[in-house]
Structure 1
Amino acid sequence: MFRNFKIDLRLIKEIDKTMLISMMLLILDGVLNIYLCTKGNYGLSFAKQQFSWFILSMIALYFFVAIDYTIIFNYVPVFYWGSVVLLLLAKIPGIGVVVNGARGWIRIGGFQLQPAELAKLGIILMLAKKLDEMDGDINNVKNFFTLALYAAIPVVFIVTQPDMGMTMVCFFIVLGIFYTSGLDIRIIGGGLISLVLAIIIVWNSGIIASYQKQRFTAFLNPEAADATSGYHLTQSLIAIGSGGILGSRPSLKLEGTTGYAAQNVPEVQTDFIFAAISEQWGLIGALILLTLYGFLIYKMITIARTSKDIFGSVICIGITSYFLFAILQNIGMTVGLLPITGITLPLISYGGSSLLTTVMSLALVLNVGMRRKKIYF
């Protein structure tokens, strides 16, 4: 039974060590900064929970690297439809839990699971499987609408939670896959127009609460926004500015708060952790963080280009698209260049479901890279 989960030691040398090390450093950096920005009010609580998810993620990493990704191909529908069922369950009162105005969580024991995180990976895997079966012929009308339907099913449930941040993530994942798969640019243009129309309809449908709308538009003029909607961004900018070049040299001692962001920026351990990092470690710390992300993304693109099949290549493209959009959106909203959407910083922000599924995703990329060429013994 466990034979398929035993890694051939001769495959280990094929694993992309730069990508693996970058991922590990980012996760540990996240745990450290979660501790620093929450220790004043919560002690070790948040950091311990994140570290527990880190250990669980490493176990998942092993299994997702050990088994040949071509075997996973056959189980993609189970994972995809399973994530859709979880999205449905999250909408049932008593099973689903409301967090920040969205019924998008399921409580399991002492932990909370966000099904949308699994659905995000499910979309990538299903599109990769279908494109492989279609030999990459995405411009065939039947093929295109089949792919679009599989992408749309989970997104409909995510929109109605409502979770506009995750909806945007899923859209840009699909856009990245469709574009790199050679979809006619006119169809992509039509899709973008459709997205704008869909946003207008949802915006005026009553699904999105007024406070969420205010928070979304506050970046246009945070000084003029009211105390609630513009507060997050204003405090974030103050914290980033106070970090300077070298940062505030945070204390690792458990006693006392660490910095302005820890005391004044709401959701600092999740949505706005970049503000805490910039304050505590300055411009240098922020650049180191971006450099690690750069290594990770470059390696993912390289593996996508050299994959031995369409399935592996599309998996890498989808995960790369997620990273690019999430990093740009999170940092952009933190510095006031983009709307505040609640999209977290991959591998860094607090959140067990997000960390677990992100590590699982990267494990699949490592898996594709390990098996992209025939090994002769």
Structure 2
Amino acid sequence: MDFTLSPQLLSLQARTREFIAEEVIPLEREQLPNEHGPSEALRAELVRRARSAGLLTPHAPTEMGGLGLSHMAKAVVFEEAGYSALGPTALNIHAPDEGNIHLMGEVASSAQKERWLRPQVEGRTRSCFAMTEPDGAGSDPGMLETTAVRDGDSYLINGTKWLTTGADGAHYVIIMARMEDGTATMFLSDMDRPGVRYLRTMHAMDRCFSGGHGVLSFDDLRVPATDVLGEIGKGFRYAQVRLAPARLTHCMRWLGQARRAHDEAVAYARTRQAFGKPLAEHEGVGFSLADNDMDLMTARLHIWHTAWLLDQGQKGNFESSRSKVVCSEAQWRVVDRCVQILGGRGVTGESVVMRIFCDMRAFRIYDGPSEVHRWSMARKIVQRSGAIQ
């Protein structure tokens, strides 16, 4: 297992880091504090800059105009993009679009790719993924209450979804619905179809996702059979195709944010004087910086190891769960320590760290809370032990 980065990947890493520093970070103050994610105008400008830099949608297949990055390459590039909260939006690798692009690339038909995927890869459209429900599916997708019933050459979909990231302003939606036989299927629909209602935007701690988190209602939404994503009854299987890599890309992007917070704390600790010397020379602050470094490296190694496994063709479900728990909790500890080091500055808009703190707390819940992943891991550990005996 060799984690040596190729000259090509090192060059791409450097290009991405330079782009974020020179083209993205200067635009951070363009986003208003009360916005639920970057405005469409800001997103369009960020995408334009990334396109000019040759960095737009780098994870997409080359035949669609992307760079076809491996999982390991994504780990490097996505961390650099994540150094700014706007970086993933600029590179078109933000959630949920990044996961949807991966899923569509794996499962969609050629016609579906041309209709929905290609414009998305080009940065002209956005998407959302509607699975979570107010009283139904969440961490347990088996609790799906949204239904799909066959009606001639189409399906009628009924149900309510919430925490649908990016729904406001999305051009199309991937809907998870339960069939009459109890299986699940994914459906594709334009957001402006009759039967799709955008009810409201939820007030959330984070504001880094374009379109925020929305509540959707499907009322006799008619979806042609040609717009079924993949095969009927395989929705749960496709969810794993999407979620295992998507958990890891969350870890990659948030690692960049944690590193940004750490850099801010280091710079402050070097120059801020307290009790006759810089904060960094006080043992308590120094220990926190050292702990940050250890947590950042631990997270990175988990990401790289899981990415390597995925590149070998392994499913990586267990390892992606492990990485999700380790990274979300380690990166959260880093940002929390940074707030403490910055003191009053850290709890105000005078520092980017406050925003990172608010955005990152939800990471321990998104794509499965730590408790669910620990439970899933424990089951597999016990099953594996029984198989060995």
TM-score scaled to structure 1, two decimals?
Answer: 0.31
In proportion to residue count, which structure has more strand?
A: 2
Higher relative contact order (CA 8 A, sep 6+): 1
TM-score scaled to structure 2, two decimals?
Answer: 0.30
In proportion to residue count, which structure has more helix?
A: 1
